[in-house]
Structure 1
């Protein structure tokens, strides 16, 4: 015997769910893109085996960090995502260069998410570890409207992250509140997904010998994905986070 319960959701709950899911989807797409890139960037007789061998997240995170210090060359990007080094006949040299710039931007953006902002990912993967909310931040003069540096109110997330402990028996934690921009998060995730499809198309063409097709990117996409207000890190999260550090004594 089953029981069905109808629990109406209000707009605030739906908005909060959308905020958290937009972040989670963006990170999942970033991880998938990076893992596929690492599996195909070096000549491998069977890329899926290379993909399945990346089981250590610490090693994966280090590889993502290496992409930030040594961004991939155009030749590597074109080989993996476009399946060719030379531009198609209908694509100009300028457009071919723009395409490589966009690919590098997307790949390094994905790497930055996993290498530098993994705490947000860890929290959103575990539903009870992150809380959506509405927050406001204002910096500047109350009397002089022209003296306001930042004035923003909107969706944000609150999450905890574990830090190093200097005192034995005390675990340090950090509570962080960061603004979120769901529309930008989903736009970034969509761009990642398109390039995941491109890797699949190139791999299929190489395996079967059939002709495939990929989309050439324009630099305007970078400007669109950077359209986040004031001093953001262009990932959909405000880099100016609000933090509170505290310790919890463990045991007696």
Structure 2
């Protein structure tokens, strides 16, 4: 089936994007920009919009799996590939070989992306570093908890045998508990176990374990600890 050139009226193949007689580009031809495709891939590639822009129906798979964020990574790579593709190869693949000149917006796209990437790294670091710091501090406080747990059986045994709480650590008559460099002081005050992290950890306060008799057993309460709640074990918050 043929059609007529919208400019000179010469009969031409229906699928031809350009008139061979006058060179006019036909109204039904839609030029697909390499730079525009890259920008769309970088900005909304998560949803496969760049594939729909290029007339490829399988962009729907990006929509189906966008929640995995894998399409976003794929789209970023595809955007880079688009910009790295030569204009001739691009036109042969997406524009039926028709050229409207060389697109020079690649640098304009890449430079903002570099700054956006730097900003994203900064944002991630601002979120991740405090979270990592909290994690390391909780690990250091956990070492103090382990020391307190070493003393609990001895305090319980002393209380059952003598029907009173030990006034200090020396009354337990046991070997010194195993500690680490992250543990500062270890005390017992009327049965209450107090373990403070070392000053080098930068963590203020102490873990405070208070024994409470419940029938024939003893339970320990550490909710009165004076360490920042962010660093406390879950049972002490």
TM-score, normalization by structure 1: 0.26
Q: Which has the higher contact order (CA 8 A, sep 6+)?
A: 1
TM-score, normalization by structure 2: 0.27
